[in-house]
Amino acid sequence: MQAEALSLSDMIEQHARLEDSYVQLRTTNQSNLANAVALSDGVDQLNQALKTQRQMQAELLVMAKNVALGSLVAGVSHELNTPIGNCLMAASTIQYQLDELRIKSMQGLSKHEMASFVQSLRTGADILVRNLGRVAKLMGDFKKITTDRSSLRICDFDLHDAVDAVIASKSARKNNHRIENHVPPSLTLNGYLNELSDVISELLDNALRHGFRDRPNGIVIVDGTIRTNFFELTVIDNGCGILPEHLERIFDPFFTTTLGQGRSGLGLHAAYNMVHATLRGKINVSSVVSIGTHFTIELPLNSTEVDPPKSDHMQERTKSLGNVIG
């Protein structure tokens, strides 16, 4: 009888404990439910914030592209204004002198007047040719940054021979400068030969025109090394170097330290664009003033294994601009 009473008491205590546990579990579940609701609200807020941030990023990207396009248009207009103005002045002068010649020819021309007219005509023609040449050079540089992707051709080529061909086109020797090809012989790559040659040419021109502008007997070394999963091309010169405040801007379009001396400031920008957009690689630069400049280009070993270049909205707008002014 006593054992049964103990068992009943134990059962009552156990039941009481179960009720307490149930109450605690119910309270915990309610708390978890409230936390879940709060978490869901937090997730919704985060998703809304992420959506807002993405919209802001998209708007900022559009603004940045518009600013870049505006800078591009302003740069092209600025560079074209001077040579086109000179051409208009020369053409109008020639036109005026032709009218004068027509009038004087009816009255008779002396040898001195004819010689003077011929000399004036030759001077005007020289001005036209020189300035139209500047316009053509600017258009050539500009079109390098708006390459028609459908015209690109991938091929196997010997890099040592390609570098030799570029060096042969430069006038370094007559200026007592030297360009050395340290690329190993018989190093075959698969990629865009013409575009890579243009990049190397721009880097060599940069050294010859800017790095050695105040220095005789400059040396440029072109070298190439195969790394684990990419190819590294270096162009090193012992020129005057690049000022730190200019180093971050040298790839910007129309940036040049020789403003007004016939330089468009598109050469290194074109090289940067071709390396990143066409060759699917990277280009970096380091420089020490009075010591020299070091360009490093990293390229895939095989361009057929790399996704083809994709043109973005800015590139399409730039290409359209090139078609309009070209």
Catalytic residues: 202, 206, 263
Find where tokens 């708007």 sit. 59
Q: Is the CB of residue 187 less than 8 Å from the CB of residue 158?
A: yes
CA-CA distance, 198 to 298, in Å (whole number)?
16
Contacts of 265 (CB under 8 A, 6+ apart): 75, 252, 253, 254, 255, 256, 259
Q: Which two tokens stand for residue 265?
A: 């400031």
The residues with which 189 forms a beta bridge, in sequence order, are 157
CA-CA distance, 109 to 105, in Å (whole number)?
6
Using CB atoms within 10 Å of the CB of residue 311, give its burial: 0 to 12 exposed, 13 to 18 middle, 19+ buried: middle
CA-CA distance, 85 to 28, in Å (whole number)?
83
85, 89, 213 from 259: Cα distances, Å:
17, 22, 14
CA-CA distance, 295 to 205, in Å (whole number)?
13
